[in-house]
């Protein structure tokens, strides 16, 4: 934190008035169910975006991204046009904080001028929601400065709108929600339909280990849309037999077993993953509430197998990481996390076996896949905060 403050002072010539942080997130269970109305089980992680800020003397917004050594300034009068003070298009990195400013303004809040320096520990492109952490970090920063009475879920929605409508990236609410609402030592059960949520305690004596396959996610729009369309088509076909359903969330596993023979093979596979993954999330919360890491881990392995065989979004590298983890001492469960087609696996590991687990995973991956895996030891952390410096 001292480093952050001194960096701000070097950049802007005075001390900051506010310090904020917003964590990245990992999804422990509930993959590709958010757009089917299902529940998810993310956790905020102790890798965060850190921000230092002060009111600007000219009422403008001045940003400095320390990690890439770039700065940009813009005015709220022109924020809708996505241009800087010279009328040039805002660079891509600046559109996330500018989008939050725009979204706050659209929500009827008065966004005042700021000088902000920020830096991130959240790996970019690994599926740990680095962009959502930036958005939520700026959100709590302006909230603290404005003294607004906004609950964290509402702030997450404002940040999601920034990414959807301003940056132009289609995403659900889970990423911003987890960053804003994280609870230390807990996963977060989040119902994407009702937006109800509650924390669920992670098992005693366990750690979260995230392994980056080094394969950058190449989820093309066509691959994503094909799966989403398959789910929608499954609902249309199942409505012949279950007229009341609106999404796959409404289909119980026993009902799916009865009517799945009437679905085309590929559509059946996609829908089967979603229906059973939704059930797995509910079972997982029960396992967490009774402090049962073995049961939770078995659900993680089952989720990965389903994503690999039914939803078909895994890669050989992700499969290698999960297979290696399964055979290492102290691993309760492992699965791909995020959209798939590359990115990371998440592992639940005994605390006293973490060091040997990480060493074994790295060595095995290098030997089997011929690649180097970045491995991160994480713990479930609190959500975003901002306070006076």
What pLDDT does 225 receive?
Answer: 82
Q: How far apart are the first and last CA of the chain?
A: 10
Both tokens assigned to 249: 């969330």
Domains and CATH numbers, the chain: 2-202+382-388 (3.30.230.10), 208-378 (3.30.70.890)
- Whole-Å CA distances, 333 to 47, 164, 234, 346, 355: 22, 33, 30, 8, 16
Of 34, 175, 212, 250, which residue is the catalytic one?
A: 175
Q: What is the pTM (predicted TM-score) of this model?
A: 0.93
Please tell me the predicted confidence (pLDDT) of residue 127.
75
Residue labelled with tokens 């009111």: 55
Residue 172 has a pLDDT of: 84
CB 139, CB 18: distance < 8 Å: no
| Phi, psi of 80, deg, nearest 5 | -65, -25
pLDDT at 217: 66
> For each of the chain's 389 residues, which pLDDT tens digit applies?
789 999 999 999 999 999 999 999 999 999 999 999 999 999 999 999 999 999 999 999 999 999 999 999 999 999 999 999 999 999 999 999 999 999 999 999 999 999 999 999 988 777 788 899 999 999 999 999 999 999 999 999 999 999 999 998 878 899 999 999 999 999 999 999 999 999 999 999 999 999 999 988 655 567 888 999 999 999 999 999 999 999 999 999 999 999 999 999 999 999 999 999 999 999 999 999 999 999 999 999 999 999 999 999 999 999 999 999 999 999 999 999 988 888 899 999 999 999 999 999 999 999 999 999 999 999 999 999 999 99
The partner residues of 331 in beta bridges, in order of sequence, read 349
Per-residue CA distances from 128 to 24, 264, 383 (Å): 6, 34, 14
- The answer to whether 175 is a known catalytic residue is yes
Closest to 53 measured CA to CA, from 188, 181, 144, 163 = 144
Q: How confident is the model at residue 121, as a pLDDT?
A: 92
Is residue 33 a contact partner of residue 244, using CB atoms and an 8 Å limit?
no
């Amino acid at each position: 934190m001292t480093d952050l403050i001194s960096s701000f002072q070097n950049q802007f010539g005075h001390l900051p008035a506010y310090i904020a942080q917003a964590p990245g997130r990992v999804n422990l269970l509930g993959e590709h169910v958010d757009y089917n109305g299902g529940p998810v089980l993310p956790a905020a992680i102790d890798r965060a975006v850190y921000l230092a800020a002060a009111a600007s003397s000219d009422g403008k917004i001045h940003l400095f991204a320390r990690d890439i050594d770039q700065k940009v300034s813009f005015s709220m009068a022109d924020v809708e046009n996505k241009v800087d003070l010279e009328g040039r298009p805002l660079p891509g990195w600046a559109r996330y904080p500018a989008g939050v400013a725009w979204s706050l303004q659209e929500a009827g809040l008065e966004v005042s001028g700021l000088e902000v320096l920020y830096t991130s520990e959240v790996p970019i492109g690994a599926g740990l929601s680095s962009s959502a952490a930036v958005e939520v970090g700026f959100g709590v920063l302006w909230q603290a400065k404005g003294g607004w009475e906004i609950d964290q879920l509402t702030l997450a929605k404002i940040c999601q709108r920034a990414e959807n409508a301003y940056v132009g990236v289609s995403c659900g609410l889970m990423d911003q929600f987890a960053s804003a609402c994280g609870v230390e030592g807990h996963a977060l059960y989040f119902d994407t339909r009702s937006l109800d949520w509650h924390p669920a305690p992670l098992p005693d004596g366990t750690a979260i280990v995230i392994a980056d396959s080094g394969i950058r996610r190449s989820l093309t729009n066509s691959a994503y849309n094909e799966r989403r369309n398959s789910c929608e088509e499954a609902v249309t076909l199942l409505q012949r037999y279950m007229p009341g359903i609106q999404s796959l969330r409404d289909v119980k596993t026993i009902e799916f077993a009865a009517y799945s023979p009437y679905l085309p093979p590929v559509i059946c596979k996609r829908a089967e993953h979603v229906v059973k993954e939704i059930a797995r999330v509910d079972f997982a919360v029960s396992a967490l509430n009774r402090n049962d890491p073995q049961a939770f881990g078995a659900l993680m392995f089952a989720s990965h197998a389903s994503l690999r065989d039914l939803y078909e979004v895994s890669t050989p590298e992700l499969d290698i990481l999960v297979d290696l983890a399964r055979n290492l001492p102290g691993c309760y469960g492992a699965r791909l996390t995020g959209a798939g087609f590359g990115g990371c696996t998440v592992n639940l590991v005994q605390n006293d076996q973490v060091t040997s687990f990480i060493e074994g995973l790295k060595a095995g991956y290098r030997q089997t896949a011929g690649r180097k895996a970045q491995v991160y030891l994480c713990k479930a952390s609190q959500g975003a905060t901002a306070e006076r410096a």
